[in-house]
């Protein structure tokens, strides 16, 4: 079946630092890949997505590129802000190893940005 592995946190950075959160996946076929963000006390929000190989998703200064050759979808941001402090989830759906619409999540990475 499908699975997602993302780097364990917590990650603590200073404001304006560069962020990378690694995410790799296991799936057959061509799944869609997502990054969701959960701010404290809130539900999840879609941050960005990519639906085919070499697609780059981007939003709010965050980027991630769908790399089929390395089965990766790493999240990056050039300059983080205190307001980016949240839990980040990598997820996938589709492919031929699981239900087309079922989201499989990584374990989440807690990011704390200090001023």
Partner 1 sequence: DTAVSQTPKYLVTQMGNDKSIKCEQNLGHDTMYWYKQDSKKFLKIMFSYNNKELIINETVPNRFSPKSPDKAHLNLHINSLELGDSAVYFCASSLGTGSSYEQYFGPGTRLTVT
Binding site for partner 1 (CB under 8 A): 31-32, 34, 36, 38, 42-46, 49, 51, 87, 89, 93-95, 99-103, 105, 107-108, 110
Task: Quote the least distance from Cβ 16 to partner 1, whole Å.
Answer: 26
Cβ nearer to partner 1, comparing 19 with 93: 93
Task: Quote the least distance from Cβ 31 to partner 1, whole Å.
Answer: 6
Strand residue runs (E) in 1-43: 3-6, 11-14, 19-21, 23-26, 31-38
**The token pair that represents 60 in the structure block:** 């709010």
| Type and span of the H or E element at 52 | none
Residue 44 DSSP symbol: E
Cβ nearer to partner 1, comparing 42 with 69: 42
CA angle 52, 21, 12 (to 5 degrees): 160
Task: Quote the least distance from Cβ 86 to partner 1, whole Å.
Answer: 11
Distance, CA of 48 to CA of 33 (rounded, Å): 9
Cβ nearer to partner 1, comparing 14 with 99: 99
């Amino acid at each position: 079946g499908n699975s997602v592995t993302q780097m364990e946190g917590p990650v603590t950075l200073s404001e304006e630092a560069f962020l990378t959160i690694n995410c790799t996946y296991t799936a057959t076929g061509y799944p869609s890949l997502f990054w969701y963000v959960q701010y404290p006390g809130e539900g999840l929000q879609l941050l960005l997505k990519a639906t085919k190989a070499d697609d780059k998703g981007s939003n709010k200064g965050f980027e991630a590129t769908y790399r089929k050759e390395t089965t990766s979808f790493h999240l990056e941001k050039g300059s983080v802000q205190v307001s980016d402090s949240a839990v980040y989830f990598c997820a996938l759906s589709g492919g031929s190893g699981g239900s087309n619409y079922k989201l499989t999540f990584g374990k989440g990475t807690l990011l704390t940005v200090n001023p």
